[in-house]
A and B are shown apart, each in its own frame.
Chain A
Amino acid sequence: MSNNNKTPRIGFYVCHCGHNIASVVDVAAVAEYVKTMPGVVISREYKYMCSDPGQELIQSDIKEHNLNRIVVASCSPLLHEHTFRNALEKGGLNPFYFHMVNIRENVSWVHTDKDAATDKAKDLARAAIQRVWFHKPLEKKSVPVNPDVLIVGGGIAGIHAALTIANAGKKVFLVEREATIGGHMAMFDKTFPTLDCAACILTPKMSAVKSHPNITLWTYSEVEKVEGYVGNYKVTVKHKPRYIVEDLCVGCMDCIDKCVFKEAKFSDEFNQGLGKRKPVYIPFPQATPQVVLVDPDTCLYLKTGKCKQTCVEACDRKAFDFQQKEKFQEIEVGTIILSTGFQPFDAKRLPEYGYGKYPNVYTSLEVERLVNASGPTGGEVVTRDGNHPKTVGIIHCVGSRDEKTNRWCSRVCCMYSLKLAHLIKEHTHAEVYNFYIDMRTPGKGYEEFYDKLLNEGVHFIRGRVAEVTDWTLSQAEAGKLIIRVEDTLIGAVRRIPVDMVVLAVGLEPHHDAQDVRRLFNISCSSEGFFLERHPKLAPVNTFTDGIFIAGGCQGPRDIPDTVAQAGAAAAEALALINAGHVELEPNTAYIREEDCSGCKSCLPLCPYTAITFDESKKKAVINEALCKGCGTCVAACPSGSIVQNLFEDEEIFSEIDGLLKFDFSCCKPMEVNHA
């Protein structure tokens, strides 16, 4: 490291970013402007600063011109700050003698007036030059990474990620809020485009999760609280009472047979309400774990306290425990993967399609259960009024690509509609109509599947359906549903009578996605799915280090993409674990003891209780291990005795001066003395 860091020798680099910046900002003018500023030794423009030659330019200039401060004006620091800090380090300079100016996201991409954009770029550059005068060398804090991983959500994403990590020899806690893992995939009959049975490919993975020595599976449990930071999270998990001691139940289901309710009479959630279950039940035959649960809303004993409890008598293993309460358990993990999935669009929100009004209008998920051999009808496609449909209409984009509900394309509905069309035809030989806006079949073998369906004689009508009614016009139409649609390929409005309507509902964020997001301190994008750190380059990372996302919680996606993303999230977690430690941003705060008046104003401000009071010295003390670097205490200290690294008062004040073209050299000393 250079010894003469006291007198800044600044290197300034402005990036063209191809045309991204240079087409709006006059980069040559910015470089020329900065050249004259105090302390600037080198001021250059370059096509791609983030490229290897760009970084090498910085490194060679550091050596050749003995630079001790670097400012790069390019894209957002959230994207490339670490790239340039690494370049400084390679050039032999402390990486924190660096400041980045955002003239792409904040300037060239949002402004069209070239003069105004160039002026703004100059102001921002000037601010950075003045700021970097006050930068200090800092050491990165290194903390160990706990090798255990928490995975939240046991659908196919969580299952795949858990198995990947467990197979790598690391411990996984898999937390699922339902009574079984499997998620939506467990409900499907077959998967497109290969038409292999969903259960056949999923259930082996489910039992592998249950039996894996490295996986602790907690179903019917929810994450209650998350504290800590990357590598060192402390998580509280709530176990909901299933009124069964999980370790004792072997899933023999004798209790279900012996329940005082002889007939199953309560709506079966797993079968979308198309089947019935008893108060003591197992969600579906392959549920994992194979443990029954008792529904407190329908169980006579739990509701009224009065019941013969024939179920308890039937249990040889004494697994029933009606006194069970919520239990809380605290675990420590280093990384977290969120794979909490999606919810299907509620078709009742579009009353023109008659869902909930006409019994023969179904959602796609209901039809998945109807065509499923283990479903409520044993795979027989029979409508709610007991008939076998002869004509079926599948309406695409219900709750997708719609200004009134959800604007996004749910990506899977075209393909699953084709699959359902095929399966319905196979089961019933019915005439099947698909009403679509555009057929979207990108994916390996997907377009070929569409071709296959065209050859199978499925009808395709291009147009968004206006309404589904029971307004029949003739005796022949009696009992049918009428689909009214503008066929945009022939340019006419058509009435198509059908026996059954299937609504291809879209995918949307869970109703409580915002609560989950807050719990884990991550962000959501505008539609409510969890926000990735970068849409292309960091698709499974979040803005909170050590927390990754995979599957439908990040956006609508099909099974292959979900599994790929789960693998990526697992790899990211393993990368952190394998490194063994993680470097934290050294932006923590410390107290200049000689200036502290001992007023204690800062103590109640810290959300992490990192500040304590040393009674013997009558001074506040910051525990840097607990400090997360928000700077709230710094702003509040009346004596200015708290300093936040990287965001020191002098640094920010000189940045403000620079932005406002306030003359810096006349009011600041040329020599900066470091404490």
Chain B
Amino acid sequence: MPDQNPTNWEPVIVAFFCNWCTYTAADLAGVSRLRHAPNVRIVRIMCSGRVDPQFILTAFAKGADGVLIGGCHPGDCHYSEGNYKLLRRVRLLNRMLRDMGIEEKRFRLEWISASEGDKVKSVINEMVAQVKALGPLGLPKQYEELDKELEHIEQQSSGKEAHSHVG
């Protein structure tokens, strides 16, 4: 788990980059030695269309402070239109994340082509700064507390069942 002390806390961002555009751009950023914040952990997938909303929810639930998806620009998808399919899911997911109380800036979708190494750098730096400003999301800890609370309620309710009212 990341250090929860706000002074030296660093956010962890999980990124899903498509093989053909954004992952190649990240490689280009490397070859061009474009230094950027070390907070992003990249998962390589063939197409941004492979991103299942559950990947994003899982990442948040297991401690990510932000999730970044990188795909080919509209019209440039290596598989014609995987990025459009992703976009539709992201639109829905955004509403869900909002309802869950996850701030908008913690989840970002960017179209980054294979030549845009500098964009990888600027997007990562910008997002890390934004998530840093928001502070830790800390869902695993929240869930732990919720679980305890639930357990407590369950225990209480089973104890009180005989007395008809639940507190």
Q: Contacts of A102 on B, CB cut-off 8 Å?
A: 27, 42, 44
20 CB contacts below 8 A, A to B, read A106-B26, A106-B27, A106-B30, A107-B38, A120-B41, A123-B12, A523-B113, A524-B114, A543-B24, A630-B47, A631-B45, A631-B46, A632-B47, A644-B46, A652-B45, A656-B14, A656-B55, A659-B12, A659-B59, A661-B1
Q: A431 within 8 Å of B by Cβ?
A: no
Q: Interface segment, B73-81, B96-104, B156-164?
A: B73-81
Q: B131 within 8 Å of A by Cβ?
A: no
Q: B110 within 8 Å of A by Cβ?
A: no
Closest 3 CB pairs of A and B: A105-B30, A631-B50, A632-B49
Give the interface of A toward B (CB within 8 A). 76-78, 102, 104-107, 109-113, 116-117, 119-120, 123-124, 127, 518, 521, 523-526, 531, 535, 543-544, 587, 605, 607, 628-632, 634-636, 644, 647, 649, 652-653, 655-657, 659-662
Find the B residue at minimum CB distance from A644: B50
Q: B43 within 8 Å of A by Cβ?
A: yes
Find the B residue at minimum CB distance from A78: B27
Instruction: Give which listed residue, B29, B49, B53, B58, contacts A656 with CB less than 8 A.
Output: B58
Are A635 and B89 in contact, with the CB atoms below 8 A? yes
Least CB distance from A443 to B in Å reads 26
Are B45 and A647 in contact, with the CB atoms below 8 A? yes
- Bound-state CA distance A572–B31 (Å) is 25
Are B27 and A630 in contact, with the CB atoms below 8 A? no
- Bound-state CA distance A515–B105 (Å) is 34
- Bound-state CA distance A341–B38 (Å) is 40
Q: Are A105 and B31 also in contact (CB < 8 A) when A523-B21, A649-B52, A662-B62 are?
A: yes
Are B59 and A656 in contact, with the CB atoms below 8 A? yes
Q: Contacts of A525 on B, CB cut-off 8 Å?
A: 114-115
Instruction: Give which listed residue, A104, A119, A531, A657, contacts B30 with CB less than 8 A.
Output: A104
Q: Given A109-B31, A635-B51, A656-B58, 13 more contacts at CB 8 Å?
A: A105-B27, A110-B29, A110-B121, A124-B41, A521-B78, A543-B24, A543-B78, A543-B114, A635-B50, A636-B85, A652-B43, A652-B55, A660-B59
Q: B34 within 8 Å of A by Cβ?
A: yes
Instruction: Give which listed residue, B1, B31, B51, B115, contacts A531 with CB less than 8 A.
Output: B115
Q: Contacts of B70 on A, CB cut-off 8 Å?
A: none
- Bound-state CA distance A111–B62 (Å) is 25
Least CB distance from A512 to B in Å reads 14
Find the B residue at minimum CB distance from A531: B114
Q: Contacts of A634 on B, CB cut-off 8 Å?
A: 50, 52
Q: Contacts of B58 on A, CB cut-off 8 Å?
A: 653, 656-657
Q: Contacts of A653 on B, CB cut-off 8 Å?
A: 54-55, 58
Are B81 and A607 in contact, with the CB atoms below 8 A? yes
Q: B64 within 8 Å of A by Cβ?
A: yes
Q: Are A630 and B49 also in contact (CB < 8 A) when A106-B26, A523-B113, A656-B14 are?
A: yes
Find the A residue at minimum CB distance from B52: A635
Q: B136 within 8 Å of A by Cβ?
A: no
Chain B interface size, under 10 / 10 to 19 / 20 to 34 / 35 or more: 35 or more
- Bound-state CA distance A109–B26 (Å) is 11
- Bound-state CA distance A393–B61 (Å) is 69
Q: B108 within 8 Å of A by Cβ?
A: no
Instruction: Give which listed residue, A77, A111, A605, A661, contacts B35 with CB less than 8 A.
Output: A111
- Bound-state CA distance A123–B78 (Å) is 29
Q: Contacts of B89 on A, CB cut-off 8 Å?
A: 635-636
- Bound-state CA distance A657–B140 (Å) is 12
Find the B residue at minimum CB distance from A589: B50
- Bound-state CA distance A634–B79 (Å) is 14
Q: B20 within 8 Å of A by Cβ?
A: yes
The residue among A102, A113, A526 with the most chain B CB atoms within 10 A of its own CB is A526
Are B62 and A660 in contact, with the CB atoms below 8 A? yes
Are A659 and B41 in contact, with the CB atoms below 8 A? yes
Instruction: Give which listed residue, B10, B51, B55, B85, contacts A116 with CB less than 8 A.
Output: B10
Least CB distance from A626 to B in Å reads 12
Instruction: Give which listed residue, B19, B30, B41, contacts A123 with CB less than 8 A.
Output: B41
Find the A residue at minimum CB distance from B51: A635
Are A127 and B41 in contact, with the CB atoms below 8 A? yes
- Bound-state CA distance A116–B41 (Å) is 12
Are A109 and B41 in contact, with the CB atoms below 8 A? no
Q: Contacts of B117 on A, CB cut-off 8 Å?
A: 526
Are B20 and A110 in contact, with the CB atoms below 8 A? no
Least CB distance from A25 to B in Å reads 11
Q: B23 within 8 Å of A by Cβ?
A: yes
- Bound-state CA distance A117–B1 (Å) is 17
Are B20 and A543 in contact, with the CB atoms below 8 A? yes
Are A113 and B59 in contact, with the CB atoms below 8 A? no
Find the B residue at minimum CB distance from A113: B38
Mark contacts of B83-122 with chain A using CB atoms, 8 A cut-off: 1 yes-contact digit, 0 otherwise: 0011001000000000000000000000001111110010
Q: Contacts of A107 on B, CB cut-off 8 Å?
A: 38
Least CB distance from A506 to B in Å reads 19
Q: Contacts of B24 on A, CB cut-off 8 Å?
A: 78, 523, 543
Q: Contacts of A656 on B, CB cut-off 8 Å?
A: 14, 43, 55, 58-59, 62
Q: Are A76 and B27 also in contact (CB < 8 A) when A631-B47, A632-B47 are?
A: yes
- Bound-state CA distance A123–B62 (Å) is 14
Q: B132 within 8 Å of A by Cβ?
A: no
Instruction: Give which listed residue, A77, A116, A629, contacts B38 with CB less than 8 A.
Output: A116
- Bound-state CA distance A105–B33 (Å) is 8
Q: Contacts of B27 on A, CB cut-off 8 Å?
A: 76, 78, 102, 105-106
- Bound-state CA distance A635–B56 (Å) is 12
Are A111 and B64 in contact, with the CB atoms below 8 A? no
Q: Contacts of B14 on A, CB cut-off 8 Å?
A: 656, 659-660
Are B79 and A632 in contact, with the CB atoms below 8 A? yes
Are B29 and A105 in contact, with the CB atoms below 8 A? yes
Q: Contacts of A106 on B, CB cut-off 8 Å?
A: 26-27, 30, 42
Q: Contacts of A629 on B, CB cut-off 8 Å?
A: 46
Q: Contacts of A127 on B, CB cut-off 8 Å?
A: 41, 43
Least CB distance from B41 to A in Å reads 4
- Bound-state CA distance A395–B116 (Å) is 32
Are A647 and B76 in contact, with the CB atoms below 8 A? no
Q: Contacts of A105 on B, CB cut-off 8 Å?
A: 26-27, 29-31
Q: Contacts of B52 on A, CB cut-off 8 Å?
A: 634-635, 649
Are B26 and A605 in contact, with the CB atoms below 8 A? no
Least CB distance from A659 to B in Å reads 4
Least CB distance from A516 to B in Å reads 13
Find the A residue at minimum CB distance from B1: A661
Least CB distance from B2 to A in Å reads 9
Are B62 and A647 in contact, with the CB atoms below 8 A? no
- Bound-state CA distance A655–B62 (Å) is 12
Least CB distance from B118 to A in Å reads 8
Are B30 and A109 in contact, with the CB atoms below 8 A? yes
- Bound-state CA distance A127–B47 (Å) is 20
- Bound-state CA distance A486–B100 (Å) is 65
Least CB distance from A74 to B in Å reads 12
Q: Contacts of B76 on A, CB cut-off 8 Å?
A: 518
- Bound-state CA distance A127–B115 (Å) is 27
Instruction: Give which listed residue, A77, A110, A649, A659, contacts B33 with CB less than 8 A.
Output: A110
The residue among B20, B89, B116 with the most chain A CB atoms within 10 A of its own CB is B20
Q: Are A647 and B29 also in contact (CB < 8 A) when A111-B38, A523-B115 are?
A: no
Q: Contacts of B81 on A, CB cut-off 8 Å?
A: 607
Are A110 and B34 in contact, with the CB atoms below 8 A? yes
Q: Are A660 and B63 also in contact (CB < 8 A) when A543-B24, A629-B46, A652-B45 are?
A: yes
Instruction: Give which listed residue, A117, A524, A659, contacts B43 with CB less than 8 A.
Output: A659
Are B51 and A630 in contact, with the CB atoms below 8 A? no
Instruction: Give which listed residue, B31, B63, B75, contacts A661 with CB less than 8 A.
Output: B63
